[in-house]
Every structure is written in C-alpha cells, then in structure tokens.
A and B are shown apart, each in its own frame.
Chain A
C-alpha cells in the first residue's frame, strides 16, 4: 500500500529515511470517504421533518382524545415517539456519523452496546414490575395484610440513632402537601402568604393552569385531591404510594409541631379561599 518499494530493500519494517512515513504519495483520500454535501443537507431536512412529525404526533394524540372523548392506551404514545426517534437516530448514525461507509466493526461496537442497554432496562423493569406478583399455588400461604408482627414498633423517625442528613420531619404529612404549605426557605409557602394576608398573591404568582392536562379533577380543589379520590392508592410491594414520610422529609429548619398545627388550620381556611380562587380561574 503506502509502504512502498523503499522498504522492500531492507528487512526493517519501516523506512529509515522516512521513519514517520510522511511520504508524498501517502494519499489524502486513500480509503477515506468524503461525504456529498447534497446528501448531508437532505438528511438534515429529513431529520427536521421527523422532529416536526413527532411533535405533530403528540399534538394529534391530544386532539384525538379531546375531539372524540376517548382515552388512548398509554403504549401508543411511547411506541410512536420511540419509533420516530429510532428512525432519526439511525439516520444520524448512518449518514452523519458515516457508519454506512465505515468498517463494520464500528457498527458492531455500537449495536452490542445497545444490546447491553436493552438487557439492563429489560431485566430491571421485569423485576420492578413483577416483584409483588403472587403465584396461584402459593396464594394460600399468604396472609393478607401481613402477620402484624412488629407493626407497633417505634417508627424509624423517632429511633434514628445515627446522625442523619439534615432533613425535616414532615410529621406524617404528604410531602407534596407539605411543600405547598411551607415552601422552601426562599419562596415562602402558602402559610407565609396567609400570615401576611396576601393569599391572593400566592395563587397569582404560583398557579399556572394546565389546560393540556387531561385530569378531569383539574378544576376541583387541590387540597382535597391529595390523599383521596383517584390518587388514593395503597402501596404495593413494588410501588410506593406514601401516605406520609417514611424517612425524614425534604426540608430543613422547620419544626414538626409548628407545621402540624398550621396544616390543619390552613387546610380549613384554604378550602374557602381555594373555591374563590377557582372561580377566578
């Protein structure tokens, strides 16, 4: 190839007069594929088209649901999005990254890697999904709700003998509810605004209506949604639906007793306020 006749004369593997091979006839384009600019522009246009397509598909789904008042099965969204994304990915890989014109080994490296990713996701999802499955032949041995052994033991919240990261004890309150009421240190929560008599500002500042959200309870009172209705689910072996914090909660520097009192107070107060606020929106 490019190591030419000058090396044949001696039995070295390399030419001593040109040890680094800067041979004038080490051709530039030997073996290197140069892409065609027209091809590249077309691929870009196709990619942008597919992007528009995937966004269009998403909007179409929503339109179909509202126009025909049906609920599409969940898998349609993911199947549609992933197939379009895969086509885009293949185009980028084959043409922009030039896998089509390259040695097959490089393609194989990427494919094997994707195989490992698929394995990882598949087995993890199988475990997470099937952890609480009970097989018919073992059902008789199970006691629904457990045996009750140790049920009344002191909760972990009180008995943490080791020092824990500074987190707040939500004292049995749902984390999201807790956040609404208390906010973080910088953006004060509902309680703060109520104390200042500026509750309307709170709603104005923070509330963004989500008209695209298909939850039919959207118009109703937020506080009642938490913990009841379609959000009321029991925790299972593989999915946790906490009624309250099992480990110390999210935020620091808030006293548990303080929040409990205010929670019950503000709950009552805000019901009335929320209804009023709802009318405005």
Chain B
C-alpha cells in the first residue's frame, strides 16, 4: 500500500501554520512541568471518567442480571423477538469504527493529517450507521408493533407476563448506549473540525484524539457485552 506522504507542511497554508491552534504552536498548560506529564495526566483522568461510564451501565446490567435470574422465560422470549442479524451487523460496524478510531490516533501521532481525518470521518459515519440501523430497523419496527417500554407496551402476543419488563430494560440499555454513541460522534466531529480548520492535532498534541478514541472504545466495549446478553439468549 503506497502511503501518500501528507505530512509536508509546505502544502499547508500559512494562516493555518501560524494559527495558535496549530499543533506545533499549542502549548501545555502552565501548571504542568512538561507536555508529557500533561498528556499522561489527561489520560489518567480519562480512564477515571471511563470507569464512571462503566459503573453507570453497571446499574443496567445489574437490573438485567437480577431479572434474568428471576424470569428466565420472559428473557428468552424477549430475546427471540430481536433479530440477531441486526445486532451482529451493528457489532461489526462498531468494531470496525473502533479500529478506525485507534488508527486515527496512530495517524495523528505520525502527522499523517489527511488519512487521520479520513479515519475520523469513517468513525463518525459508522456511528451514524449504528444509530441509523438501530432506529430504522430495530426501534422503528418494534415500536409500532407495540413492543415498547413501560406504559407504551401493547404488543398483543406476549407469552409471558414479564415481557413488558424485558422491553423496558432492552430500551433503556440500548437507548442509553445509543445516546453515548451520539455523544462519541459529536466528540469526533469536534476533533474533525479542529483538525480540518487548524490542523490542531499532531505528534506532540493529540490528547483530545486519544481521549475521544478511548471514550469510543468504551462505548464499543459496552456493546460487546450488550449484544450477546440481549440478542443471543437461549
């Protein structure tokens, strides 16, 4: 694969090169002793934040686990309503986007601006694809059928009296997850904008890219667990 060398700054307009937001001109905050320290600290901070995200979903997983233990049939019935092919497609989309996000970090480290932006864009597209598949082929079909959470439940062919509870947990789990996917897409959109407008990211300044990618990987991780737990119960 021939790599186009896009790290030459001669093609970059002077107004971008001289902008204080260009990665060569950005400085670490004055209360740090070095840029490396600031980067490491930001990463540690991000990992702490990711652990809060995991604990947020832990509540949903706990509700799921408790009620799966108590009502295994309702859970098995409920899972059969879900199309595992949609779920698998979404999983593949998310895994692929996880790869492009990790790749984007690598490319920013190597100052390959063009491919870096391409990878970020693909990640955003995958995020939108995930949400699109979910809203059109899953929510969009189930909600009119009455397979809805809580008060809106009206599906006529439920087998088990606890299926409304299953649907509630399904929608809350996947809904909150979809919300996080959208937040991740917004984060990457900010990254893309800054990269495009000011070439803000480069080998010495890519903290936001790294942290956005970490966030994205956690979103992917949550889905890796949600998918078999929701779609593949038997």
Interface residues of A (CB under 8 A from B): 1-3, 13-14, 19-22, 26, 28-32, 34-35, 37, 40-41, 43-44, 47-48, 51-52, 54-55, 57-58, 61-62, 65, 72, 74, 77, 81-82, 84-85, 88-89, 92-93, 95-97, 102-103, 105-106, 109-110, 112-114, 116-117, 120-121, 124-125, 128-129, 167, 174-176, 179-180, 182-184, 187, 189-190, 202, 206-208, 210, 212-215, 222, 225-226, 231, 238-239, 241-242, 250-251
Contacts and interface: CB of A to CB of B under 8 A. Distances in A.
Given A97-B214, A128-B66, A55 B232 contact: yes
Interface in B75-91: 76-77, 80-81, 84, 88, 91
B61 A239 contact: no
B217 to A, nearest CB: 5
Nearest to A41: B99
Q: Which 3 A-B pairs have the closest CB atoms?
A: A28-B203, A113-B51, A81-B228
Nearest to B161: A176
B99 A43 contact: yes
B228 A85 contact: yes
Secondary structure class of chain B's binding surface, majority of residues: helix
B43 interface: yes
Contact of B109 (A32, A184, A231): A32
Contact of A179 (B43, B96, B146): B146
Contacts, number: 229
A213 B51 contact: no
Contacts of B70: 128-129, 238-239
Interface in B137-182: 144-146, 148, 150-161, 163-164
Contact of B98 (A92, A120, A251): A92
A96 B217 contact: yes
Nearest to B40: A103
Given A3-B34, A97-B214, A116 B55 contact: yes
Given A174-B161, A250-B153, A206 B224 contact: no
B159 A32 contact: no
Interface stretch (B9-17, B25-33, B123-131): B25-33
Given A48-B95, A51-B88, A81-B232, A176 B164 contact: yes
Interface string B195-226: 00000001110000000011001001100110
Nearest to A105: B44
A13 B94 CA distance: 46
